[in-house]
Amino acid sequence: MSSQVQPEKIGVKELRKMVAEKRAIVAVTAYDALMARMADEAGVDLILVGDSLGMTMLGYKTTIPVTMRDILHHTSAVVRGVTRAMVVADMPFMTYHTSQEDAMRNAAVFLQEGGADAVKLEGGQAVSQTVERLVVAGVPVLGHIGILPQSVLSEGGYHVQGRTPEGALKLLADARAIQDAGAFGIVLEGLPGTLSVEISEELEIPTIGIGAGPGCDGQIQVLHDILGLFEDFVPKHTKRYAELATDIRQAVAHYRSDVCDGVFPGEEQTFK
């Protein structure tokens, strides 16, 4: 697969073309304009304003407390930082389950007020009719199956899915249902690599994996994980490409000691 960055704004058509040309889709989460701009400049194709912002930005233990207002606020910021990547807003817990009308109204807020290019929602067959309504109304939808972080309370944790034959069959059926409903792509989270290959071969829409092995059409990671900013736990599926939390602590401690020792501000930082 080529790592060359294509210059055009990424939309649904470009993602399809990338898959047809066997170019990997590279996706990360971002929650603010500066980080989104850096990810965009680095050539990332898709930026998800994930409800993982509950943990990475807001200090919650799970994604459950994240609200429409939170995602809207951060989506607007990300959109201001991005010129090329597709921006996907994550629909928070219980904002697409109460009724299809609520799902439509809430998705519209992210597109109209937030400026997002698409929305993501969790679930397979159970949400496929909602996905279909959204798609018919013109909302590009990214599906998400496998580990569903919004089900952490009912599942009692985050468990790899599809390890049993019945589990694998259910995920295949979920993936088909989301594709048939018209989603432009699907996130596969926390499933055996062999099953991701099977699903990716079966589906025509792009699969974007997180903890789903190398056999997907693309990969997504939480930016704060790969940058070494989020230290509460390190998921097995992540790889740290930097140790920014350590760097930040060191830089701030250095600044502190300079101020305490009277070294900062110096001549250079003083107006004449």
What's the CA gap between 160 and 193, in Å, rounded? 11
Indicate whether 29 belongs to the interface with ligand KIV (CB under 6 A). Answer: yes
The neighbour count for residue 183, using CB atoms within 10 Å, is 28
Cβ-based nearer residue to ligand KIV, 61 or 256:
61
Residue 161 engages ligand KIV in binding (rule: CB under 6 A) = no
The answer to whether residue 201 is catalytic is no
- Partnered with residue 188 across adjacent β-strands are 145, 209
Q: How far is the CB of 210 from ligand KIV (least distance, A)?
A: 5
d(CA 89, CA 14): 18
Task: Concatenate the DSSP letters of all residues of 203-250 into one string.
Answer: -SSPEEEESS-TTSSEEEE-HHHHTT---S---TT---S--HHHHHHH
Q: x/- site string to ligand KIV, residues 221 to 240, per CB under 6 A?
A: -x------------------
- In the chain, the DSSP E strands lie at 25-29, 46-49, 86-90, 118-120, 141-146, 185-189, 207-210, 218-221
Q: Which stretch binds ligand KIV (CB under 6 A): 49-57, 93-101, 174-182, 250-258?
A: 49-57
Q: Is 210 in the site for ligand KIV (CB under 6 A)?
A: yes
Report the alpha-carbon distance of residue 3 to residue 237 in Å, rounded: 21
Min. distance of Cβ 254 from ligand KIV in angstroms?
A: 32
From the list 14, 122, 132, 189, the catalytic residue is 189
Residue 220 binds to ligand KIV (criterion: CB under 6 A): yes
Is residue 89 close enough to count as binding ligand KIV by CB under 6 A? no
The residue range among 43-51, 99-107, 129-137, 170-178 that interacts with ligand KIV, by the rule CB under 6 A, is 43-51
| By CB under 6 A, residue 82 contacts ligand KIV | no
Q: Which of 45, 51, 70, 132 binds ligand KIV (CB under 6 A)?
A: 51
Cα separation, 249 vs 27, whole angstroms? 27
Buried (b) or exposed (e) across 93-125, using 16+ Cβ within 10 A? bebbbeebeebbebbbbbbeebbbbbbbbbbbb
Task: Output the residue with the shortest Cβ distance to ligand KIV.
Answer: 50
Q: Does 90 bind ligand KIV (CB under 6 A)?
A: yes
Least separation, in Å, of the C-beta of 221 and ligand KIV? 8
45 binds ligand KIV (CB under 6 A): no
Among residues 81 and 143, whose Cβ is nearest to ligand KIV?
Answer: 143
CA distances from 30 to 120, 195, 253 (A): 14, 28, 26
What is the nearest approach in angstroms of ligand KIV to the Cβ of residue 27?
Answer: 8
Instruction: Please give the Cα distance from 164 to 170 (Å, whole number).
Output: 10
- What residues line the site for ligand KIV (CB under 6 A)? 29, 48, 50-52, 90, 187, 189, 210, 220, 222
Question: Known catalytic residues?
Answer: 189
